[in-house]
Structure 1
Amino acid sequence: MSSLILHGRRFFELQKWRHFRFAVNIVLQNESPFSSASSTLQDGRKGHNFTVSSYLVDSLGFTTKLAESISSKVSFNDKVNPDSVLSLLRVHRFTDSQISTIITDYPQVLVADAERSLAPKLQFLKSRGASTSELTEVLSKVPKILGSKKDKTLSRYYDFVKDIVQADKSSKFKKLSPSSSLLSQGSKQENKIRNIIVLRELGMPQKLLFSLLTSHVQFVCGKDKFEESLKKVLEMGFDPTTTTLSFVGALRMLYALSDKTIKARVEVYERLGFSVEDVWAIFKEWPIFLGYAEKNIADSIETFLELGFSRDEFVMTVKRHPQCLGLSAELVKKKTEFLVKEMGWPIKAVVSNPSVLGNSMEKRMVPRCNVIKALMSKGLLGSELPSIHSVLVCTDQDFLKRYVRKYDDELLVAELMGIFTGGRVST
């Protein structure tokens, strides 16, 4: 393993790293150890229906956007239980900032039983000698270890995180020994800790290391195959030092797929018109690209061909935005027909800007396109439809500046803002 680390370091010294732009939201598949409440109550403060997002805004000062994001991951119908969790954390001297970090990273803690689950775990860690400052720091880094069901797992992960946090405070890199007492028993946990030590020595950031520690992904629990897969990923030029998930995604794919399966997938793409170089270039941008079975790939191309794309246009679309392979046929049809049939952009415009297929219909496509419809009906854009890029491939602020706030007429601006925020179709 030490030779592998040395190999990786030398490789990185010779490479000029480039950062890969993509997001993977299915690489680390974690299960919540807690169940959520199911009764329906009303928040009596103002007579409105209680919502998770409103609770997070009112109790923790979260922004509406962050609160809405968190509310999609956890559910509770009154503030009794989450209030008890927050009270417990404050009793143990977690700061408001630390509590906000914990809730953001691991919102499921709000539905844990404060008295029967969380309090005993905090007391257990303190009984082992954890100081208040150490306890709050470590658990703020990796709050998900509070979901551990056994004291042995809790203490092992806690000690490991503590070792990394303390070692990384030094200005000089400090190695962690795999011969530590943490690895006294042969198990998946032992393999996981050993593998994470290797990834740390290759420069993987703390946040990704800790995510892997508390995840259930298979590759991080492997042994011989982990080393083999890691070597392949390093040789392909993936960078373990970045905060993106490209390295983790590639490692996961190469661990999960046999050489025979990988070869078969590459051959499928070749038959569709991709070169071998194309396949591996796309893999570097979107590793899950190799995870699609032949049937999924065939179904995807059939959907695009039915919509009027040529085979070459399908290939170009995937090269530019491989994530479109993961979209359901229903979504691809709905979005393409809206853009081409209802708005009037040619298919070539979609091929040139395939990332628009990843846009939300309700939050981006429809509101912006309704503004464009209104402007065209008033003769303010001329007879030619603006480019799909200028309408859909920009931030909300840039769109509003370009198509709404540029006008001096206050009534017109107010009307356009109403269309933009209301999502209603202009007539």
Structure 2
Amino acid sequence: MYAMTPPFSVSSRLNPPPFLRIHPFFSSFFSSSSSSSSSHTQPPSDSNGIVLQYLIDTFQLSPASAVSIMANRRGLKSTEKPRSVYKYLSELGLSDTQIKSAIRNTPQLAFTSIEKTLKPKIEFFQNLGLVGSHLSKFISKNSKVLSCSLEKTLMPNIEILKNVLAKDKCNAGLPTVLRRCSGILMRSPDKVLSVNISYLRSCGVVDYQLPMLLKRQPALLITRESRLKDFVSMAIKAGFSINSRMFIHGLLSISSISNATFKKKVELICSFGITEKECMRMFNSAPVLMRTSIDKLEVGLEFFMNEAKVSKSEIVRKPSCLMHAMHERVLPRYRVLEVLKSKRLTKKLPKLINSLWKSDEDFLDIYVRRFPDNMDDLFEAFRGNSVGALQPEELAT
């Protein structure tokens, strides 16, 4: 055990005790001039040095974080509290790595009362359906929720979420929402969550749409009210009517990208001869298009309009074609249709865009297996260089 010495004085900075001397953070602190005494970071006393060392070694806290958390615990000499917290979390099923992650995210957790604070909150989450490995992952990544008041914050927010998910009698959707956005539990329920829900309802978002919004993008419900109003305004400007069922989908897409990214996507689409008005029509019929990456949009537009010679009007009418996987879906079907065309195997060649919505099996039945004399060539066209493709004998079944 480290030898105990009197409390630090300014002069003792030149000769720090062993438990501090081994860490670069403390070494730099003690080697600094006395003029740095005005710093907000104060050295701990020898009496809690063992606790400080335990926090650093066990939870891998940075020296700065360890000093900060010990600032209000200067007389603490025992490691009993953090040891018991470690043991309790371990018994819940958290791995050593998960425990360290939880404490690094919320250092004060190491000194929290298990019976009075931690256990009631853990049981609260378990009753909501977060159990086993799901609970372990949730705590390790979102330990800050354990520092929130159970009665004033966690419980009221959960009640609001349950009201939104009213038809979800077994609370099956709650764990998903919490895993996607634990922050939804940490805001003032009366000032954030309930206010935003009321605003969305005033915009025409009806009760059956709110659960979908909550499950897909819970963070939207705890954004600043002014920011939420901006998103709604942008959705309306993009052509989404608040009385339309597509409004909620437009809101989801618009809120997931920045204004700059949205502008770049519009500019890219318009560079292919599509007007801005037509671009907005595309977004209105397929809101998810706004979340498609710029690179994917560019590759799709280049292929459909310049290689496959799909007309602009067809792209505008069915923009979802730009969201299909190019190598896994679009190109195999394009190659098959090209073989059909070159061999004149059918009088009425289907449009590429229309073929994209068929399942692989349906496509193979209609455009490959239907022509046994040319099946090998059609199969090779379909397969291309894709990995794990069906073999000719499998196509014949």
Query: CA 1:199 to 1:258, structure 2 compared with 1: closer, same or farther past 3 Å?
Result: closer
**Cα separation, 1, equivalents of 2:156 and 2:87:** 28
Equivalent residue for 2:184, pick from 219, 244, 251: 219
Aligned to 1:370: 335
Pairwise CA distance, 1:189: 9.8
Does the CA contact (< 8 Å) of 1:189 and 1:221 recur in 2? no
Aligned to 1:386: 350
Matched, 1:160 2:160: no
**Cα separation, 2, equivalents of 1:265 and 1:123:** 43
Report the count of equivalent residues: 266
Equivalent residue for 1:420, pick from 359, 382, 389: 382
Aligned to 1:287: 251
**Cα separation, 1, equivalents of 2:245 and 2:99:** 37
Does the CA contact (< 8 Å) of 2:148 and 2:154 recur in 1? no
**Cα separation, 2, equivalents of 1:371 and 1:401:** 12
**Cα separation, 1, equivalents of 2:377 and 2:88:** 56
Does the CA contact (< 8 Å) of 2:334 and 2:352 recur in 1? no
Query: CA 1:294 to 1:357, structure 2 compared with 1: closer, same or farther past 3 Å?
Result: same
**Cα separation, 2, equivalents of 1:290 and 1:395:** 30
- Secondary structure of the residue aligned to 2:172 is helix
Structure 2 length-normalised TM? 0.56
Does the CA contact (< 8 Å) of 1:359 and 1:365 recur in 2? yes
Cα distance per residue 1:276-298 (max 9 Å; x no partner) = 548x7543124323323332222
Query: CA 1:340 to 1:290, structure 2 compared with 1: closer, same or farther past 3 Å?
Result: closer
Pairwise CA distance, 1:318: 0.4
**Cα separation, 2, equivalents of 1:250 and 1:184:** 22
Does the CA contact (< 8 Å) of 1:282 and 1:289 recur in 2? no
Query: CA 1:403 to 1:213, structure 2 compared with 1: closer, same or farther past 3 Å?
Result: same
**Cα separation, 2, equivalents of 1:329 and 1:393:** 23
Pairwise CA distance, 1:234: 4.7
Aligned to 2:157: 195
Does the CA contact (< 8 Å) of 2:231 and 2:251 recur in 1? no
**Cα separation, 1, equivalents of 2:119 and 2:375:** 59
Does the CA contact (< 8 Å) of 1:238 and 1:247 recur in 2? no
Pairwise CA distance, 1:184: 10
Pairwise CA distance, 1:124: 1.9
**Cα separation, 1, equivalents of 2:313 and 2:258:** 27
Cα RMSD over matched residues? 3.9
Query: CA 1:233 to 1:374, structure 2 compared with 1: closer, same or farther past 3 Å?
Result: same
Pairwise CA distance, 1:333: 1.4
**Cα separation, 2, equivalents of 1:156 and 1:298:** 48
Equivalent residue for 1:399, pick from 324, 348, 363: 363
Pairwise CA distance, 1:403: 1.3
**Cα separation, 2, equivalents of 1:336 and 1:321:** 15
Does the CA contact (< 8 Å) of 1:145 and 1:154 recur in 2? no
Aligned to 1:230: 197
Write the mapping of 1:65-214 to structure 2, written as runs, cut at 5 A: 124-125=91-92, 155-156=119-120, 158-164=122-128, 186-187=148-149, 191-201=153-163, 202-204=166-168, 206-214=171-179
Q: Which structure exhibits the higher relative contact order, with contacts defined as CA atoms closer than 8 Å and separated by 6 or more residues? A: 1
Pairwise CA distance, 1:338: 0.6
**Cα separation, 2, equivalents of 1:418 and 1:377:** 15
Matched, 1:252 2:219: yes
Cα distance per residue 1:125-166 (max 9 Å; x no partner) = 49xxxxxxxxxxxx9xxxx99986679698556523443469
Q: Percent identity?
A: 20
**Cα separation, 2, equivalents of 1:349 and 1:400:** 24
**Cα separation, 1, equivalents of 2:100 and 2:319:** 42
Does the CA contact (< 8 Å) of 1:145 and 1:158 recur in 2? no
Query: CA 1:264 to 1:184, structure 2 compared with 1: closer, same or farther past 3 Å?
Result: closer
Cα distance per residue 1:87-121 (max 9 Å; x no partner) = xxxxxxxxxxxxxxxxxxxxxxxxxxxxxxxx977
Structure 1 length-normalised TM? 0.52
**Cα separation, 1, equivalents of 2:336 and 2:120:** 56
Aligned to 2:76: none
**Cα separation, 2, equivalents of 1:122 and 1:157:** 13
Matched, 1:333 2:298: yes
Which amino acid counterpart does residue 259 of structure 2 have in structure 1?
Answer: E
Which amino acid counterpart does residue 304 of structure 2 have in structure 1?
Answer: L
Pairwise CA distance, 1:334: 0.8
- Secondary structure of the residue aligned to 1:344 is coil
Query: CA 1:416 to 1:246, structure 2 compared with 1: closer, same or farther past 3 Å?
Result: farther
Query: CA 1:361 to 1:319, structure 2 compared with 1: closer, same or farther past 3 Å?
Result: same
Pairwise CA distance, 1:392: 0.9
Cα distance per residue 1:45-92 (max 9 Å; x no partner) = xxxxxxxxxxxxxxxxxxxxxxxxxxxxxxxxxxxxxxxxxxxxxxxx
**Cα separation, 1, equivalents of 2:156 and 2:225:** 23
Aligned to 1:346: 311
Does the CA contact (< 8 Å) of 1:188 and 1:222 recur in 2? no
**Cα separation, 2, equivalents of 1:338 and 1:163:** 52
**Cα separation, 1, equivalents of 2:100 and 2:174:** 17
Pairwise CA distance, 1:335: 0.6
**Cα separation, 1, equivalents of 2:151 and 2:307:** 54
Pairwise CA distance, 1:216: 4.0
List runs of 5+ in structure 1 lacking aligned partners: 1-118, 127-138, 167-182
Pairwise CA distance, 1:398: 1.9
Query: CA 1:218 to 1:344, structure 2 compared with 1: closer, same or farther past 3 Å?
Result: same
**Cα separation, 2, equivalents of 1:240 and 1:160:** 27
**Cα separation, 2, equivalents of 1:348 and 1:200:** 45
